[in-house]
Structure 1
Amino acid sequence: MMIFGGIFIITGFISMVFSYKHVLNMLLSLEFLMVGLMMLFFFWVNLGSSELVFIFYYIVFMVGEGVLGLGMLVSLVRWNGSDFFLSFSSINY
């Protein structure tokens, strides 16, 4: 379980570095990172026989972060027409 969490984190970070052109790809790789961190956190909590309520707090944080990211993506696409970073301009006509 710990190895899978580490692999998820590494692949999520690599995909975030190499897929910076689209906002949706960055959000998906960020969620992949969060799932890997949840796996490591779950392993750490089970190893120490600690409270499982902290995992629920983390899951609530993950859901809130995902909803906020998708809301920003929807407003970005409605305002700009796409989520392609190179089409952004600071000069609005």
Structure 2
Amino acid sequence: MSILAGMSFFMYLMGLLSFCLNRKHLLLMLLSLEFVVVSLFLMLYLYLSMYNWEFYFLMIFLTMSVSEGALGLSLLVLLMRTYGNNYMTSFNLLW
């Protein structure tokens, strides 16, 4: 079980590193954010199964992560229609 915990923590750190390095493209930022969410889901699953607790919180977590993903994709579609690309440097978010 400790190998899986170490692997999920490594996945979390690599997702954060990818999020920091890909800050120029919005789509790559959203993909790395979803990778972080998947690694957090794995860590929560390991934690809850270690203590034999119920997995209802995982369903709430998945619901929130799906709504976060849908919000990010709708923001991406809005910015693609407005500016025509997904480069963060071309966005003037303060209008």
Tell me, yes or no, whether TM beats 0.5: yes
- Closer, same or farther in 2 for the Cα pair 1:47/1:86, shift >3 Å? same
Superposed CA RMSD in Å reads 1.5
Return the letter of the residue paired with 1:46.
S
Q: Name the residue aligned to 1:48.
A: 51
Does residue 61 (structure 1) correspond to residue 64 (structure 2)? The answer is: yes
TM-score (norm 1): 0.92
Amino acid of the structure 2 residue aligned with 1:17? C
- 1:31 is aligned to 2:34: yes
Q: After TM superposition, give the deviation of residue 90 of structure 1 in Å.
A: 6.1
Q: Which moved more, 1:18-27 or 1:81-90?
A: 81-90
Structure 2 match to 1:88: 91
Alignment match, 2:25: 22
Separation of aligned partners in 2, 1:34 and 1:55? 12
Unaligned residue ranges in structure 1 (runs of 5+):
none
Question: Which residue is equivalent to 1:71?
Answer: 74
- Uncovered stretches (5+) of structure 2, i.e. residues with no partner: none
Aligned AA (2:65): M
Number of aligned residue pairs: give it: 92
